[in-house]
Amino acid sequence: MSESMSDTGTIIKRARQAGVALPAFNIPYLPIMEPVIRAVRDQDSFALIAVARLEWIKFQSQSLAAVAKEFQRWDDPRHVRLHLDHVPVIDEDNLRVDYLPIIEEAIGLGYRSVMVDGSRLPLAENIAATLRVCEAAHAAGVPCEAELGAVLGHEAGPMPPYEELFRSGKGFTRVEEAARFVKESGCDWLSVAIGNIHGAVSQAARDQKKVEARLNLAHLDLLLKATGIPLVLHGGSGVRREDVLGAIKRGIAKVNIGTEIRQTYETALKTGGTIAQAQDAVYQRTIGIIRDYFGNTGIRSAVAG
């Protein structure tokens, strides 16, 4: 790869080969950026720093440009890369999104990898949308993540009972569909549904504690075999620890973490803390997450060479 190309694709591939995963920390509030990057550096780890569209629309990360600017203030290329998380084709409020210009803006701003989420579409339409974004991303040397299956939680309204969801496997990424999806869309990484759920973002539910999700690791094995590309676990907050570790061991190469960090920050502010105190709480929580899920695995030496 030439130097102008993003190396995030290589980094994720190396993680997959080494049997480690990179955390991707979401930034719903700009002051979260500094303590997260500091924690990653202090743990000598490696992480993606991510923002999803709903985080500048429903939370306070303001815009793609604001997040990129804040990232550049604290950037440390030995430890972090900037990633564009969920740009949905149909959003959590069921509205169509003009997704391609958002992706193109991010690439122009220096985001080193992107995600398009067509998971609310029928299979063929998800493939078509993902293919469009992959072509634009690849032309700029940027890897593209996609989602197949229903990683629920972002939508407003009550969630179906978790145990029932898990037992029935309803909404799980289907193996044959995943094989076809990867082949036809050309996506580089795939976010799969294997029992994981997103943290709620609706105003009514965003403060609630997430249910403890579990993962169907046998199903993950089938997906890994069928797709042959790095798979991604969204909704990493609140999943049973042994299941996350099992998923990483099997081949999940990236784990998204949003809710835990966000709620840590919000709780600190709500209980009378200053922004500096809330940032310190985020720093401590990020350290804890890296230690519990990503620690002692030599992530940085594995991925950054």
Burial of 144-171, coded b for 16+ CB within 10 Å and e otherwise, reads bbbbbbbbbbbbeeeeeebeebbeeeeb
Listed ranges 2-10, 106-114, 229-237, 276-284: which one lies at the site for Zn ion (CB under 5 A): 229-237
Listed ranges 1-9, 177-185, 226-234, 244-252: which one lies at the site for Zn ion (CB under 5 A): 226-234
Residue 22 β-bridge partners: 254
Strand ranges in the chain using DSSP code E only, listed in sequence order: 22-26, 47-51, 80-84, 87-88, 114-117, 144-148, 189-192, 231-233, 252-257
Listed ranges 132-140, 232-240, 270-278, 286-294: which one lies at the site for Zn ion (CB under 5 A): 232-240
Size of the site for Zn ion (CB under 5 A): 1
Nearer to Zn ion, 210 or 234 (CB): 234
Smallest CA-to-CA distance from 21 within 215, 214, 257, 207 is with 257
Cα–Cα distance measured from residue 27 to residue 50, given in angstroms and rounded to the nearest whole number:
6
Listed ranges 11-19, 62-70, 227-235, 276-284: which one lies at the site for Zn ion (CB under 5 A): 227-235
- Minimum distance from residue 4 beta carbon to Zn ion (Å): 29
- For Zn ion, the binding residue among 234, 254, 262, 300 (CB under 5 A) is 234
Q: Which residue has the tokens 């991510």?
A: 50
List C-alpha distances in Å: 8 to 78, 101, 281: 12, 21, 28
* DSSP annotation string for 42-68: HTT--EEEEE-HHHHHTSB---HHHHH
Structure tokens at 236: 């990493």
- Minimum distance from residue 73 beta carbon to Zn ion (Å): 25
Nearer to Zn ion, 234 or 285 (CB): 234
Residue least distant from Zn ion (Cβ): 234
- Minimum distance from residue 271 beta carbon to Zn ion (Å): 27
Note whether 300 binds Zn ion by CB under 5 A.
no
- Minimum distance from residue 44 beta carbon to Zn ion (Å): 27
- Minimum distance from residue 28 beta carbon to Zn ion (Å): 13
CA angle, residues 22, 27, 29, in degrees to nearest 5: 160
Listed ranges 31-39, 69-77, 95-103, 233-241: which one lies at the site for Zn ion (CB under 5 A): 233-241
- Minimum distance from residue 256 beta carbon to Zn ion (Å): 5
Residue 51 β-bridge partners: 84
- Contact residues for Zn ion (CB under 5 A)? 234
